[in-house]
Amino acid sequence: MNRALLDSLFAAGGAADWGWTSYETLTPHMDENAREKAEALCPGAQCVLVCAVPYYAGDAPGNLSLYARGKDYHLVLGDLLNPICEVLHEKYPAYRFVPGVDNSPLPEREAAWAAGIGLRGEHGLVIVPPYGSWVFLGTILTDHPAPPPDRAPSPPCIRCGKCQKVCPGGALRGETFDPERCLSHLTQKKGELPPEQEALLASHPLAWGCDLCQKVCPYNAHPKATGVSTFRDDLVENLTEDMVEGVTNRQFKERYGDRAFAWRGPAVIRRNLALQTSKN
């Protein structure tokens, strides 16, 4: 594959960096189900292209995680990756090129680190200076043979421990991560929660997501703002009880369907806001 061509294609879509790794380097990080899904998407997969797209657009007050304030990143990265796959398929018609954003069976962060993108954050996120960890990842899975590596795998961050110390639920535990104690996960979890998780949400300032481990990270002290206009413009920074009370799933998705917080519908946000109100 032509690096100069891919450089221009990824840069045109707003990617801060991109790289590749062989598919086999990722299989130890995939369970049997994920490997079966990847094989179904791209039989004989050989290579994974991965890119990092920055989304930081400032830190205005609000109760939504910064990643969810602009247009849904699934849509934005899809608009970046789909044309690249079309160009690659035209150039290499014998091969498949399958885009993936978040819902892919591929371990995206492991792919980025194997490709030498950024740093391995102690909070488990990819850090891409000068954008910090405020980046989304996208992948392209292909049966085109992987070129030889042109970078070493990503080095670790400075391991200052600030992200682990600030996590209210203690989700970050050295090399392990407990999603059931992660506030970002809990704000998206459906249904009734056990008392311990309700207490965590009641004390949490956000109705969706959690940015605490990122905000204390030294690499995020002065992040460069994204150049991607759909992550900068028409931001939704705050949701109130009045905005979700009595709203049906259909109404909610008609209003906010192009936002990353819309996929669960209004019920979980109503619950989160009610817990925070009861605390106060």
Confidence check: pLDDT of 279 > 70: no
Q: Is residue 55 part of a domain?
A: yes
Q: Is residue 53 part of a domain?
A: yes
Q: Is residue 259 part of a domain?
A: no
- Catalytic residue set: 102
* Tally of structural domains, the chain: 1
130 preceded by a cis bond (ω within 30 of 0) = yes
Q: Is residue 74 part of a domain?
A: yes
The pTM assigned to this predicted structure is 0.95
Residue 177 is part of which domain span? 1-238
pLDDT in tens, 209-244: 999 999 999 999 999 999 999 999 999 999 999 999
Where helices occur in 50-117 by DSSP H, the ranges are: 73-91, 108-114
Dihedral sign of CA atoms 115, 117, 120, 126 in order:
negative
Confidence check: pLDDT of 111 > 90: yes
Task: Give me 73's structure tokens.
Answer: 């990143």
Q: Is residue 243 part of a domain?
A: no
Q: Is residue 273 part of a domain?
A: no
Q: Is residue 277 part of a domain?
A: no
Residue-level pLDDT at 175: 78
Q: Is residue 49 part of a domain?
A: yes
66 φ, ψ to 5°?
-60, -30
DSSP 27: G
Q: Which residue, chain included where needed, has tokens 């997969």?
A: 45
pLDDT in tens, 56-86: 999 999 999 999 999 999 999 999 999 999 9
